[in-house]
Structures are given as C-alpha cells and as structure tokens.
Chain A
Amino acid sequence: MSKPKALLAYPVVKEIQDYLEEFTNLSTLDFSKPNTYEDVVAAIKDVEGAVVLGTRIDENLLSHGSKLKVISNITVGYNNFHIEAMKNRGVAGTHSPGILDNTVADFVMGLLIATGRRITELNSFVKEGKWTRIDNSHLFGKDISGSTVGIIGMGRIGEMVAKRCSLGFDMDVVYYNRSRKMEAEEKLGVRYVEKDELLKISDYVVLLTPLTDETYHILSHNEFSMMKKDAIVINASRGPVIDELALIEALKEGRIAGAGLDVYEKEPMDLDNPLLKMDNVITSPHISAGTQKTMNALAWNAAKSMVSFLVHKKAINIIPEMKGDF
C-alpha cells in the first residue's frame, strides 16, 4: 500500500519529521522564511492530512484540499478551525490537550508576579540607568503571598494555577466557572463565587476560559468598573475574552492597577496599540506554552494524531465538537 500524502506546515525537530516521513509521503513548506495562509493553501492540493500551527482552516482552504481527511493542530486552542466548514466536508480536526497545561500555568504565575511586583518595569528602570538612589519607596509593588486571586474558567490550567497560588503562595483562591469543581475545592481549598463577587474581591483576576460565544468580551466596561482600583488583570487564554478597548480605557483612567497579557484581540499587535506604551502592562507575544520541551511534546502529539488517523485508521485527540463523528 502506498503511503498517504501529507503536509507539514510548521517546522519541527528532526525526530518528528523522520517519524512523519516513515509513515507518510511528506511535503513541507519552505521553513527558511515565515509562512502565510496562502502558502498553506498552495501546498494543500493533493494531501490527505496536514500538521499546522494556527493556520486558518476555512472553506476556501478546504476547497483547495479536496483530498483532505484530517488537520492536526499543534496547539491546544483551535479557534483557527472553521468547524462547520470542516464538518461539511468530513475533515477531522485534532488538537493537543493536556500537554502544555503546566507550562502555561508557570507562565501565568510569571505574569502575575511580574505585574504585581513590577519586574519588567523595574528591569527596564535599572537597565536604562534610572536607578540612582537607594531609597526605593517609589518602587513598591503589591504583595503576592496572602492576597486574593480570582480565576475565571477553572479547567485543567485553572486548577494548576490554583495549586501554585494556594499551596505555594498561601493566596486565597476564588473561582467562577460554568460548573463547580468539587475536587479542586477540597484539595486546594478554593472557593466558588459568582462572577461579580469575584471581580469585587480579587487582587488578581486571571482569565483561563476557552474562547466561545459566551466568553467573548467576558471582561468589558462594566466588569472593569467593579474591580478594585489596585487590582491586576492577567490573560493568557485568548485575546477576545477581554474587550481590549475597555481594558485600555480602564488602565488609562486608573480604574485598575495593571495587566499582564500574553494574548490580544489582534495578533501580532498593531504598533499603535496603546498597551505597548504602558509601563504597568506586560505584553508578551503569545508565548505562554513556549518552552522547547513543550513545543516538542505538542508537535509529537500532532504528528501522532495525524498518522494515527491516516495510517492506523484510529481517531485520537479529535476536538470535542467532532467527538463521535469519526
């Protein structure tokens, strides 16, 4: 039997590419330059499967790839998938849940401490030669230990952040979620509250919800006005869960104290985005899962999911909306 044709649309370590070449007739994009949506469309024609990272999989792309059976996304989020279009054409989508949770939770804690204690701002302060006197009462931050963190969206990553906050830093942890998490409440001493209550009492508000119609702009003008004046917002989930214009306004008017952001409504950010000029805002470029170890593990997962589907005829890591379809 001949090997199925497949496309690798994102560079991976050699071992993973070797594995893909063993099981498929593999083509790749030109990785010496950054690739665009059009590059993927141009290469999708004859392939049955593709490993992608964040490429928009829409009706147009699918219409160029009439032989496609499966698209394997390297990341856990898959809002690049146009699910209805994929379902209509019978194309399966896979993702990589579970693998990056601890790595993202680490990064969320990094954002939380760095905004509270002004680490990025003070690093620049020192590097730019502005540290000229020993008295530093103008450089005070906010305590982490003993403060209250409110987690909106208590999934696996939420629980890992809760564990770090509660067991590691003795923070009070409250959460809001569609459903109660009894096990987390017992093991980690976290407490369920309604969203408004969470916003009112938290020193740090951490967003860890997936992006859905319900969570779109879950924080907007009304929500920021309920928060404490010295509260800090952390978002490492998806940009559009925050109404970014409302956030910018709240920050400009001093209605909240700062923000630690890894995701934005538009990525990469526009160069004139006011967030880029705010010292009390951390702007990392969507790197919460970005460690070498995790990137390799995610790419392995996507490669194995595609090979399993095409070669072993077994659907694994299918996105929840398609469970049972394959």
Chain B
Amino acid sequence: MSKPKIFIANPIPGFVEDYLRENCEVVIWDFSKPKKFDGILEIIKDVDGIIQVGMKIDENLLSHAKKLKAVSNISVGYNNFDVEAMKKYNIIGTHTPGVLDETVADTIMGLIINTGRRLCEADRDTKNGNWQKGDVSKFLGKDIHQSTLGIIGMGRIGECVAKRANLGFDMDILYYNRKRNKLAEEKYNAKYLSMDEVLQKSDFVMVMTPLSDETYHLMGEREFNLMKKDAFFINASRGPVVDELALIKALEEGRIAGAGLDVFEKEPIDKNNPLLRMDNVVTLPHIGSATEKTRDDMAMLAAKALVEVLEGRGSDVIIPELR
C-alpha cells in the first residue's frame, strides 16, 4: 500500500516531522514565504490529510480537495472547522485535548496574579526609571489568596485552574457550566451558581468555554455591568466569546478594575485597539499553551491522530461532532 500524502501547513518540531515522513508522503509549506491561499489550494488538490493551526476548513477549501480525508488541528479549539461542510464532504477532523490543560491553567493563574498585583505595570514603571524613594503605596493591589474566583465554563482547563486557586491559594471557587461538574465540587469545593450570580460575587471572573454559536459574545455589556467594580476579567479561551467593544467600554468607564487577556476578537490585535493603551490590562499574544514541551506534545498528538485516521484505525481525538 502506498503511503498517504499529507500537507504540513505550520511549522512543527523536527521529531514530529520525522514521524510524519516515516508514515506519509509529506508536502511542507516553505515557511520563509508568506502563506498565500492560492498556493494552499494548489497543494491540497491531491493530499489525503492536512496538519495545521487555525486554517479555515470550509466549503470553498473542501471543494478543491478531492482526495482529502482528514484534517488535524494542532489546537484544542476547532472553531476553524465548518463542521457541516466537513460532514457533507465526509472529512474527519481531529484536535488536541488534554495535553495543554496544565500549561494553559498556568497562564491563567499568571494572568490572575499579574492583573490583581499589577506586576506588568510595576515592572514597566521601574524600567522607565520612575521608582522614587518613599512611594511604597504606588502599586497597591488586590489580594489573591482567599478571594473569590468565578469560572464560566468548567471543563478540564477550568478544573486545573480551580485546583491551583483552591488548593494553592485558598480561593473560593464559584462556577457556571451547562452541566454540573461533580469533580470540581468535591475536590475543589466549587459552588455551582447561575452565570449572573457568578458575575456578581467574584473578585476574578474567567471564561473558559469553547467558541460556538451559543458562546459567541457570552460576555457583553450586561454581563460586565453585573461584575463588581473592583473585579478583574480574565480570558484565555477564544476572543469572540467576549464582546470586545463592551469590554473596552466597561474598562474605560471604570466599571471593572482590569483585565488579563491572551485572546482577542482579531489576532494579531490591531495596533489602534484601545486595550493596548490601558495599564490595567495585560495583553498576551495568544501564548496560553506556548511552552516547548506542550507544543511538542500537541504537535505529536495531532500527527499521530492524522496518521491513525488516514490508516483507517480511528482516533480518540476526533472532534465530538464527527465521531
């Protein structure tokens, strides 16, 4: 049997590329050149599989890929998949759940402490030469320990954050989710409440939902208005879960204390986005899962899933809608 032909559309670690070359015939994008849609369409005409990050897999693309059988996402989110179109063309989609949970939870705790204790702001101020004798109360912040963390979307990453916050920092955990999460309730003493109550009672509010039609702009003007005036908002899930203009307005009007953001409605962020001028907002370039080990693990998981599906063996990480 001949090896399946695949397209590697994003840079991956060398050992993952080696693994793919052993099992597949590989076409790889020349990463010294900017990605062009026409070039991609030309390549995918005769490949069986694609491994990539964030490429829109829709009717238009699929109609050009006559032999395509599987697309592997090197990410846990798969809002780049047009699931209906993939069903129609009989394309399997896979993602990388599980391997990045701990790393993303680390990022989220980093954002919580950084916003509450104003670390980025204090570091920049000192580096700009503004530290003067006697200003010990210049960057007074908010205590993290024993404060209340509200988690909207209690999946695996939510659980990992609850663990850090509750067992490590003695924080009270409130959560809202489509269904109850018994593990979080038993191990981390998380209390299930309505979304409105979570917003009203928390010192830190974090969203950790996948992006779907239901969660699009889940956080809007009404939701920010429900939050405490001295509460912080944290998002490391997907940008469009938040109505960014409503967030900007809430921050400009001082209706919340600050925000820690790893994701945005548009990425990379526009240079004139008002969030970039706010000292009480921490802005990260979507690095929630960005450590070498985790990215290696994600790329390998995505590569193995693609090979398994193309060899007809099935995979544990096919997205739920296409199983």
Contact = CB atoms under 8 A, between A and B. Distances in A.
Interface string A35-63: 11000000000000000011000000000
Interface string B140-182: 1111111000000000000000011101111000000000000
Nearest to B10: A135
B268 A287 contact: no
5 contacts: A119-B110, A119-B114, A143-B102, A143-B103, A145-B106
B303 interface: no
A135 B136 contact: no
Contacts of A35: 134
Contact of B145 (A103, A136, A287, A292): A103
Contact of A143 (B10, B117, B293): B293
A122 B169 contact: no
B168 A164 contact: yes
A287 B10 contact: no
A137 interface: yes
A293 B145 CA distance: 12
Interface residues of A, number: 68
Interface stretch (B14-22, B283-291, B310-318): B283-291
A285 B138 contact: yes
Contact of B140 (A109, A110, A140, A291): A291
Interface in B275-323: 276-277, 282-287, 290-295
Top 9 closest pairs, chain A to chain B, by CB: A168-B168, A110-B113, A34-B134, A113-B110, A164-B168, A168-B164, A145-B102, A167-B167, A268-B131
Interface stretch (A79-87, A125-133, A245-253, A312-320): A125-133
B135 interface: yes
Given A34-B133, A110-B113, A134-B54, A122 B287 contact: yes
B186 interface: no
Contact of B286 (A53, A118, A136, A271): A136
A144 B106 CA distance: 7
A293 B144 CA distance: 11
A106 B145 contact: yes
B285 A131 contact: yes
Interface residues of B, number: 68
Given A119-B110, A134-B267, 13 more contacts: A53-B136, A102-B145, A106-B169, A114-B110, A133-B268, A135-B31, A140-B295, A169-B106, A268-B131, A285-B122, A285-B138, A287-B139, A287-B141
Interface of B: 10-11, 31, 53-54, 102-103, 105-107, 109-111, 113-114, 116-120, 122-127, 129, 131-146, 163-165, 167-170, 267-269, 271, 276-277, 282-287, 290-295
A224 B31 CA distance: 38
A142 B193 CA distance: 35
Interface of A: 11, 34-36, 53-54, 102-103, 105-107, 109-111, 113-114, 116-120, 122-127, 129, 131-137, 139-146, 163-165, 167-170, 267-269, 271, 276-277, 282-287, 290-295
B97 to A, nearest CB: 17
Contact of A107 (B117, B125, B131, B167): B117
A165 B293 CA distance: 19
A109 B168 CA distance: 10
Nearest to B288: A117
Given A106-B144, A119-B114, A125-B285, A141 B291 contact: yes
B284 A123 contact: yes
Nearest to A262: B122
Contact of A269 (B10, B131, B293): B131
Contact of B110 (A110, A131, A276, A292): A110
B242 to A, nearest CB: 16
A227 to B, nearest CB: 19
Contacts of B103: 143, 145
B290 A169 contact: no
A283 to B, nearest CB: 4
Given A119-B114, A126-B285, A134 B131 contact: no
Contact of B132 (A34, A139, A164): A34
Nearest to B285: A131
Contacts of A143: 102-103, 106, 291, 293-294
Given A34-B132, A119-B114, A291 B142 contact: yes
